[in-house]
A = this chain, B = another copy of it.
Amino acid sequence: MAHTHDGAHDLTRNQSLVLETLNAQPSPLSAYDILDRLRGAGLRAPLQVYRALDKLVAMGLAHRLESLNAFVACADAQCHRKGLIGFAICENCGRVDEFADEVIETQLGTWADRTGFSIKQTTMEIRGRCALCREAA
């Protein structure tokens, strides 16, 4: 691969297709949802989607939501956010908000130092009802 480390990644065909599919949707999609939407483009097997997703997640262009077994495009594809990202998932409309909180990150770091735990990855997902859905009710 042509190693452009800074600007846009050059994505392969499958990766582009998957990322476009995610970007076209404000709420999370499962790998099989994505597959179904890409059958017209020639994709046939789950693995084609999962391979693309793995790369996109590694690049920070997409995120996996563990509590949903589903994926979303990164809200800010430019910024390759580092550190902790949290997700607020509305159970009514399905929309997902990303947030980053340094206090929480620091707090986790402190806990890790104190206990000797070395953090590789953090999952933080809150479920509930977003502001729009609350006032709609």
Contacts and interface: CB of A to CB of B under 8 A. Distances in A.
A91 B127 CA distance: 25
Contacts of A90: 117
A124 interface: yes
Interface string A87-116: 010110000010101011001100110011
A26 interface: no
Contact of A117 (B101, B103, B107, B131): B131
Contacts of A24: none
Interface magnitude class on chain A: 20 to 34
A88 B116 CA distance: 11
A7 to B, nearest CB: 30
B103 A120 contact: no
B97 A101 contact: no
12 contacts: A66-B125, A90-B117, A97-B115, A101-B107, A103-B107, A116-B130, A116-B131, A117-B126, A119-B128, A121-B126, A123-B123, A124-B124
4 cross-chain pairs, A with B, having the tightest CB-CB distances, nearest first: A116-B131, A66-B67, A120-B128, A119-B128
